[in-house]
Amino acid sequence: MSLTEIPIDIYDPDGYVAGPPHEVFTELRRTHPVYWQDMPDSPGYWAVLRHADVVTVAREPLLFSASTGGVILEDLDDRRLTGMQGMLLAMDPPRHVVFRRPVAPTFKKKVIDQLEGNVRAICREIMARAADKSDVEFVHDVTSGLPSRVVGQIMGLPVEDLEYIHHLAEQLTTSQDSDYVKIDDDPDAASFAMAAYAVAFATRRRAEEPREDLTTLVLQTDFGGAPMTDGEFANFFVQLVTAGNDTTKTMLSSGLAALLAHPGQLAELRADHEAIPGAVEEILRWANPLHYFRRTATDDVELNGAEIKAGDKVAMYYTSANRDEAVFEDSQAFDIHRKPNPHLSFGIAEHFCLGVHLARLEGRVFFEELLSTFPRIEQTGDAVRARSNLNNALKALPVRLGR
C-alpha cells in the first residue's frame, strides 16, 4: 500500500515524536507538492513541500502575508495575534523594514565576529562544568547555557535573570509538549510573563545611563518616526530572546546527535576543524530547528497546481524543502562536505534570519571547543524528541563525555 492510500496527517504533533515524517514528505513532494491538510479545530492549510515553491512563497510577502494570521498554524485570538504581529517575524512590508533596518547593523557579520572571544570563553566554561559531571543530559546540561548567555550579553541582561528567561523561552516554544506546559496551564502564561519582564527591564534601563548594547540602541532609536512603545519593545524582546535560545540549543544538540550517528564524519571534524563551518550548515539542513512557518494568502493564487484562495493558510515546510531531491543530491544523507548547500533553515528573502551570523558563530565555536575538550563522546541512552509540529527539537540526549 502506498503512502497516498494511507490517511496522511502532517499536522498532528504526535507524528513528530519519533522523528520528522521524511518518508511522507518525500512521497508528497512527488505526488502532492502543495498538499491540503485538515486540522481538528480550525480550517486546514496548504503545506508547501518543494524547495522552489517555498522560495516562491517567501519571496512574495504581500501575496503571502506573515501578519494577517501570524506564523503558526493555529488561529489566534485577537490579543495573541496582535502580540505576534508586533514581532519582526510576523511583520509585512513596509512595516517590517521600518523595524528591521535600525537593528540590522548590530547583526552584521563584522560586528558579530567581534563576539567570538566572548562566545569561546562561555563555551569553555560550559565544557569545564560538563567535564566535572562526565555523564550529562546534553540538551540542558550543555547546550542551553550558550545561547542564553550570548543573548544576555547582547541585550545587557542581568546574569541572575538568564535561567528564568530561558525557562520561559522553553515554555513558549514547546507548548505542545506536556513536559513543558501542562494541560491545565494557561498557554499564554509564559508569553505574558516574558513580556512583563521586558517592560520592567525597559523601564529600568530608560532610567539608567546608556550602555554599549542592543537594548540601549533599541530604546534610543526612532522606528518610523517614534521610539518603541513598551509593548513594541516587549514583542521585540520576546522574539529575540526566544529565537536566540531555542533555535541555537536545537542546532547544537541535534548536531551532536547527527555526528554521533555518523562517527566517520565526527572523526573527520576532530582531525580538521576547518570542516566545522560546513558541518554546521549540514546540521542546519538535515535537522533544521523549525519545521515550518505559516503565511496567509491575500488573494487567489495558483501554486504548483493548487488553487489557493484568499484567506487560506499556507505553510512553508523547511523540513521537506531541505531534503528536496531536485535541489540536494542524495538528499536524505548527512554529509558535512555538501556543497552547495542552499538550505532554507534561515528562511530567504524578506524574513531571512536576522541572527544568521550569530548562529553560525555559536555553532562553529561550540563544536570546536566540544571536540577539543572531549576526545571521547558516547551516547548512553535514547534521544528524546519534543512533541511539536513546529519545533524540530530534542528535549533529552544522554551522553558520556570523556577526556
Are 314 and 15 spatial neighbours (Cβ–Cβ below 8 Å)?
Answer: no
| Dist. CA 119–CA 256, nearest whole Å | 18
Q: For position 167, what pLDDT does the model report? A: 85
Q: Which residue has the cell 547583526?
A: 107
* C-alpha 69 chain-centroid distance: 19
Give percent helix, percent strand, percent coil of the chain, each to the nearest 5: 50, 10, 35
- Give φ, ψ of 19 to 5 degrees: 130, 160
Per-residue model confidence (pLDDT) at position 3:
52
pLDDT given at position 183: 46
Amino acid 24: pLDDT? 97
The residues that bridge with 396 in the sheet, in sequence order, are 384
Per the CB < 8 A criterion, the answer to whether 230 and 370 are in contact is: no
CATH number at residue 356: 1.10.630.10
Q: Quick check: 51 and 318 in contact, CB under 8 A?
A: no
Residue 313 cell numbers, joined: 493558510
Contact status, residue 73 vs residue 43, Cβ threshold 8 Å: no
Residue 271: what pLDDT? 97
* Structural domain count of the chain: 1
- In the prediction, which pLDDT does 292 show? 98
Domain that holds residue 380: 3-402
- pLDDT tens for each residue of the chain, 403 residues long: 355 555 799 999 999 999 999 999 999 999 999 999 999 989 999 999 999 999 999 999 999 999 999 999 999 999 889 989 999 999 999 999 999 999 999 999 999 999 999 999 999 999 999 999 989 999 999 998 899 899 999 999 999 999 898 888 888 777 676 666 654 566 678 888 999 999 999 999 999 999 999 999 999 999 988 999 999 999 999 988 888 788 899 999 999 999 999 999 999 999 999 999 999 999 999 999 999 999 999 999 999 999 999 999 999 999 999 999 999 999 999 999 999 999 999 999 999 999 999 999 999 999 999 999 999 999 999 999 999 999 999 999 999 999 8
